[in-house]
Structure 1
């Protein structure tokens, strides 16, 4: 009798030990679902966008100022680090005018070198600038192409993989151009400050 009691107790104890192990095996049959990691944000790629702002400056005869707006396109390359190198070109309508001189349009071709804080990019930029000025001296109107250089800085914020917004300042020196007048040729240059905001769509 005593032997049967001991055998029954041993059997119950064995079942008790086996039950948790079986439960552990059962739970192990259903691993946690796989979650694909989110791709790291990068500035690398082509982009196009639009901008608008205000320009002011000085020529030999007046201090023109007014609305500016246009389009830009470019390419960024991020080096697997915070550093970003890019190139950008833009073309701008210009309403900058005063007195006898006005700037009809201008554009730039620039390099950009930046440092990114994930989705925030701060950068410096510089390169070639060109434009068309108009002059009206004593009733004689004429236009001339002007070329020079530009330097500036800006900041850009990426909202998602495609869209970003930027704020940018440029100093533009368009050199000197010669305009015909009834009293002979007159030369004037333009130094301008450009402050503009824009949006980009990145591919």
Structure 2
């Protein structure tokens, strides 16, 4: 009889222990899953860029004589900006740049005209496909034009508008690459007495930037 009671007690204790263990397993807190934050284009950035430029210039001398010239050269400079990305993938921003522009050529056979620096302030609108963003940009631009010939060395600042499009691609969370095309119309201005210069330029360039 005593043996029977002992076996029954042991069986009851084992059953209770198994039930308690099962309850602990059922009520266990699942492990916490940590999600990787989605990439965003929001933030400030600064970068460098360089490429090729094709400038078309025309000159009118005293309203009677005309000359046209193509100015092929290179550009190199830096840019800085800020982006805001919305939940629907739209990205808006503002950007400014300053570049050195090398493109001297001769007008009327002996007068050398060219630009040495240019800059712009623009708005940008784009759409983000995760780390790839396509964008359009437009705004105000300016350039310093200079003309040289015997006993004359003059320069003046031209201003106009610029517009273009490009692609930014983030290779890391902090670094992105850029490819861009821009057209700039710098308007017309009298650079020396009796001589008006009118020029516009197309630029293709690539860039590298750091995002903060």
For this structure pair, what is the TM-score category when the shorter chain's length is used for normalisation? 0.7 to 0.9
Q: What are the superposed Cα offsets for residues 11-66 of structure 1, whole Å, 9 maximum, x if unpaired?
A: 67656655654554676798565453222211111111111111112101311111
Moved more, 61-70 or 16-25: 16-25
Aligned to 1:74: 81
In 1, distance between residues paired with 2:33 and 2:104?
58
Following superposition of structure 1 onto structure 2, how do residues 30-45 of structure 1 map, counting pairs within 5 Å? 34-45=32-43
Residue 102 of structure 1: how far off its partner (Å) = 1.0
1:179 aligns with 2:191: yes
Query: Unaligned stretches of 5+ in structure 2?
Result: 59-67, 107-111
Residue 146 of structure 1: how far off its partner (Å) = 0.4
Q: Give the secondary-structure state (helix, strand or coil) at the position aligned to 2:69.
A: coil
- Higher strand fraction (1 or 2): 2
RMSD: 2.6
1:149 is aligned, of 154, 161, 166, to 161
Q: What are the superposed Cα offsets for residues 91-130 of structure 1, whole Å, 9 maximum, x if unpaired?
A: 0001122222211111010000000001111000000010
1:193 is aligned, of 198, 202, 210, to 202
Aligned to 2:137: 125
Residue 139 of structure 1: how far off its partner (Å) = 5.7
Following superposition of structure 1 onto structure 2, how do residues 158-169 of structure 1 map, counting pairs within 5 Å? 158-169=170-181
1:84 aligns with 2:96: no
Instruction: Tell me if structure 2 keeps the 8 A contact 1:64–1:101.
Output: no
| Number of corresponding residues | 198
In 1, distance between residues paired with 2:134 and 2:189?
34
In 2, distance between residues paired with 1:78 and 1:24?
49
Aligned to 1:113: 125
Aligned to 1:63: 70
TM-score by length of 2: 0.81
